[in-house]
C-alpha cells in the first residue's frame, strides 16, 4: 500500500460514511420532533399519496358527522314545537267534547270553551310562524318541498322527501285504476211516508244505532234522525237526487259512510215494519222485510306510480320509494278516465349531506309542511248534492269563533276536524322521529366507525413508532461518534510519512 499526502482516501471514505450517518441522524431527530414517519414526499412517496387520500376522507367524514348532528338538532327543534302543538290540540279536543254535552252546559260555558279554542289555535299559528333553527323557518311552510303543476284532482299533497338525482325538478305521474267509494245504501219509505211504526238499525264504522220511524214520518225526518246519531255510527244521510247518479225520486234517502275505503261500511237492518225499501249503492230500492238487512262497503282508490310502493286507504295515498316519499288525497269521484294525474316536485326543502360524495345516496332531502290551523285537518267532503247536501271534514281554522265548524255551529264535525289535525301532527312527528332514529342517528354511528378506521389506517402509515425510531436514533448516534473518531484517526495517517524523512 502506498503512502500519500495529497489524497487521503481513508479520510474521504470516513467522511462519506459520516455524512450518511449525519443525514440519518437528522432525519431521526426530525421524526422524533414531529411525531411523523412521513414529513416530506421523499420519506415514502407511495405512503404519502395514500395517507393524503385518507386525510381527505377523514376531514370529509368529520364534516359529514357535523352535518348529521346538525340535522339531528334541527329535527329535535321541530319535534319539540310539534309536541306543544299536540298538547294544544288535545286541549281543543277536550273543549269540543265539552260542547257536545248540551244537557249539562250553558251557552256561556260553551262560549268560554270557544274562547279557549280560539286562544289555542292562535298559539298553534304562532308556533308555526316562529319556530326556527338559526335563520331557517321550520313549520310555516318555508321548509316544505315545493311543487308546481299539481293536477286539480290531487289534493293535500305533502312531499316528505324526494331524490331529484341532481335535477332542478321532476314530474311524477299517478295512474288511477279505480276510484275510491263510500259505503252507500239507497233507502225509501213505501209511498214516501210511514204508515205504521218502524224500527231500523243503522250500522257504520263507529257503531250501531236504532232509528224509530213512526206513522207519518216523512223522508226529511228520516234524514234528520240518521244524522242525529252520525257521531255514533259514522254514517250520514242526505236527500238523493238524480244529479249524483241515483234515481230521481224526491223520497229517496242516500245513507252514506262519511269516509271512503274498505274500512267504511253501511248496514241497514229492519227490526220491525214492512214499508222499508232499500238497495245497495245506486240500485233501485226494493222491499226489505222485518228481520232482513242490507250492507255495502266502500272501496280504496287504486293507484299506480312507476317504481313506487303505494298504499291507499279510502282516497288517501301514501307513497314510499327511493325517489319519493309523501302523501296526497285523490279528489272525490276521480277515476281511471281522469288519469294520469301529474305533479312536479321542485328542488327545495331541507337537504342534508350525510356522507362525503356528491351523489344521491349520500344526501337526503326532507320537507316540513305548514302546521298552521289553515293546513291542519282535511279537505271537506260533500255528501249528496243540491239543497240536501252536507259537508264533512274541513281544516282547523274553521273551528274558530264564527267558523263553519265552531263549537256552536257543528261540534260533531269540529271533533272530526280536530282528530284529523291530531293525526296530521302525530304522523309528521312519527316521520321526523323515524328520520332521526333510522337515518340520522344510524348514520352518525356508522360514520363514527368509518372515521375511527380511517384515522387508524392513516396513523399506521403516517405516524411514527417512537420505540423503533428511538432505537434507530441511538444507533445513528453511536455510528456518528464512531465515524467522528475514525475520521480523526484517518487524518493522522499521512503524518506517518514524516517518519520516512527523519
H/E element holding 37?
none
Candidates 251, 249, 282, 271; CA nearest to 189 is: 251
CB 82 within 8 A of CB 423: no
Beta strands per DSSP E along 314-358: 316-320, 324-330, 341-346, 350-353
- The percentage of the chain sitting over the pLDDT mark of 70, rounded to a whole number, equals 92
- Does residue 195 belong to any structural domain of this protein? yes
In the predicted structure, residue 461 carries a pLDDT above the cut 90: no
Report the interhelical angle of 442-462 vs 45-100 (nearest 10°).
170
pLDDT at 192: 58
On whether residue 43 sits in a domain, the answer given is: no
Judge whether 179 and 170 are in contact, CB under 8 Å.
no
Residue 222 lies in a domain: yes
How many domains does the chain divide into?
A: 1
Can you tell me the mean pLDDT for 437-464? Answer: 91
Q: Return the bridge partners of 236, or none.
A: 256
In a domain? residue 461: no
pLDDT band of 221, cuts 50, 70, 90 = confident
Q: Give the C-alpha separation, 487 to 481, whole Å.
A: 10
CA distances from 75 to 10, 381, 387, 441 (A): 77, 33, 48, 11
| Mean pLDDT along residues 27-56 | 85
Which tops the pLDDT comparison, 410 or 498? 410
* pLDDT at position 335 over 60: yes
pLDDT at 388: 52
Handedness of CA 48, 53, 57, 60 (dihedral sign): positive
- 246 occurs within a structural domain: yes
pLDDT of residue 2: 64
Count the Cβ atoms, other than its own, within 10 Å of residue 368: 27
- Indicate the range of 276-290, 447-461, 463-477 predicted with least confidence: 276-290
Is residue 280 one of the residues assigned to a domain? yes
Tell me which residue range forms the domain holding 288: 182-297
Q: Please indicate whether residue 241 or residue 306 has the higher confidence score (pLDDT).
A: 306
Q: For residue 483, what pLDDT is reported?
A: 84
Q: Which residue's entry shows cell 305533479?
A: 343
For the chain, what is the mean pLDDT? 86
468 with 28: CB under 8 angstroms?
no
Does residue 58 belong to any structural domain of this protein?
no
Neighbours of 408 (CB within 10 A): 16
User: How far apart, in whole angstroms, are the C-alpha atoms of residue 302 and residue 311?
Assistant: 9
- The closest alpha carbon to 245, from 219, 287, 279, belongs to 279
pLDDT of amino acid 51: 86
pLDDT higher than threshold 90 for residue 301: yes
Kindly state the percentage of the chain with pLDDT values over 90. Answer: 38
Cβ pair 222, 216 in contact under 8 A: no
Where residue 247 falls among pLDDT bands split at 50, 70, 90?
very low
364-418 confidence digits (pLDDT tens): 899 999 999 999 988 777 665 555 556 778 899 999 999 888 988 888 889 989 9
For residue 199, tell me if it sits in a domain: yes
The neighbour count for residue 365, using CB atoms within 10 Å, is 19
For residues 433 and 190, give the distance between their C-alpha atoms in angstroms, rounded to a whole number. Answer: 57
CA 380 – CA 392 distance, rounded (Å): 5
Judged against a pLDDT cut of 80, whether residue 270 lies above it is answered with yes
Of the candidates 9, 348, 331, 332, which has an alpha carbon nearest to the alpha carbon of residue 150?
331
Per-residue model confidence as pLDDT tens digits over 198-213: 788 999 988 999 988 8
For residue 365, the SS3 value is strand
- Secondary structure string (H, E, C) spanning 141-201: CCCCCCEECCCCCEEEEEEEEECCCCCCEEEEEEEEEECCEEEEEEEEEHHHECCCCEEEE
Q: Which of 127, 134, 265 is nearest to 205 (CA)?
A: 265
> Which bin fits 132, alpha (ψ -120 to 50), beta or left (φ > 0)?
beta
Amino acid at each position: 500500500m502506498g503512502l500519500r499526502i495529497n489524497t487521503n482516501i481513508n479520510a474521504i471514505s470516513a467522511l462519506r460514511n459520516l455524512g450518511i450517518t449525519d443525514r440519518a441522524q437528522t432525519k431521526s431527530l426530525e421524526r422524533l420532533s414531529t411525531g411523523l414517519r412521513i414529513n416530506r414526499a421523499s420519506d415514502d412517496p407511495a405512503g404519502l399519496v395514500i395517507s393524503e387520500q385518507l386525510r381527505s376522507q377523514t376531514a370529509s367524514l368529520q364534516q359529514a358527522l357535523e352535518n348529521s348532528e346538525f340535522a339531528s338538532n334541527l329535527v329535535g327543534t321541530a319535534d319539540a314545537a310539534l309536541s306543544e302543538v299536540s298538547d294544544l290540540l288535545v286541549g281543543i279536543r277536550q273543549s269540543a267534547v265539552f260542547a257536545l254535552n248540551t244537557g249539562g252546559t250553558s251557552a256561556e260555558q260553551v262560549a268560554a270553551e270557544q274562547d279557549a279554542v280560539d286562544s289555542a289555535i292562535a298559539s298553534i299559528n304562532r308556533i308555526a310562524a316562529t319556530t326556527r333553527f338559526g335563520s331557517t323557518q321550520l313549520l310555516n311552510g318555508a321548509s316544505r318541498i315545493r311543487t308546481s303543476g299539481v293536477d286539480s284532482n290531487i289534493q293535500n299533497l305533502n312531499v316528505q322527501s324526494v331524490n331529484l338525482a341532481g335535477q332542478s325538478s321532476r314530474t311524477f305521474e299517478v295512474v288511477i285504476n279505480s276510484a275510491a267509494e263510500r259505503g252507500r245504501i239507497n233507502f225509501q219509505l213505501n209511498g214516501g211516508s210511514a204508515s205504521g211504526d218502524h224500527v231500523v238499525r243503522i250500522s257504520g264504522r263507529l257503531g250501531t244505532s236504532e232509528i224509530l220511524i213512526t206513522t207519518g214520518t216523512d223522508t226529511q225526518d228520516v234524514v234528520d234522525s240518521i244524522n242525529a246519531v252520525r257521531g255514533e255510527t259514522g254514517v250520514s244521510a242526505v236527500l238523493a237526487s238524480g244529479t249524483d247518479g241515483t234515481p230521481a225520486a224526491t223520497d229517496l234517502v242516500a245513507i252514506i259512510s262519511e269516509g271512503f275505503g274498505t274500512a267504511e261500511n253501511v248496514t241497514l237492518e229492519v227490526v220491525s215494519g214492512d214499508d222499508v225499501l232499500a238497495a245497495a249503492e245506486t240500485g233501485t230500492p226494493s222491499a226489505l222485510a222485518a228481520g232482513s238487512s242490507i250492507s255495502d262497503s266502500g272501496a280504496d282508490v287504486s293507484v299506480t306510480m312507476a317504481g313506487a310502493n303505494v298504499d291507499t286507504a279510502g282516497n288517501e295515498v301514501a307513497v314510499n320509494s327511493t325517489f319519493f316519499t309523501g302523501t296526497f288525497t285523490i279528489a272525490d269521484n276521480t277515476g281511471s278516465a281522469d288519469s294520469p294525474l301529474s305533479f312536479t316536485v321542485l328542488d327545495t326543502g331541507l337537504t342534508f349531506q350525510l356522507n362525503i360524495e356528491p351523489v344521491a345516496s349520500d344526501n337526503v332531502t326532507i320537507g316540513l309542511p305548514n302546521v298552521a290551523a289553515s293546513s291542519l285537518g282535511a279537505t271537506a267532503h260533500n255528501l249528496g248534492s243540491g239543497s240536501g247536501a252536507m259537508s264533512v271534514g274541513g281544516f282547523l281554522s274553521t273551528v274558530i269563533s264564527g267558523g263553519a265548524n265552531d263549537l256552536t255551529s257543528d261540534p260533531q264535525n269540529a271533533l272530526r276536524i280536530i282528530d284529523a289535525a291530531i293525526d296530521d301532527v302525530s304522523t309528521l312527528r312519527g316521520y321526523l322521529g323515524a328520520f332521526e332514529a333510522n337515518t340520522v342517528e344510524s348514520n352518525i354511528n356508522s360514520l363514527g366507525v368509518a372515521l375511527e378506521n380511517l384515522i387508524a389506517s392513516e396513523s399506521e402509515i403516517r405516524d411514527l413508532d417512537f420505540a423503533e425510531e428511538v432505537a434507530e436514533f441511538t444507533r445513528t448516534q453511536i455510528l456518528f461518534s464512531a465515524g467522528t473518531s475514525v475520521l480523526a484517526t484517518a487524518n493522522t495517517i499521512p503524518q506517518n510519512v514524516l517518519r520516512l524523512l527523519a
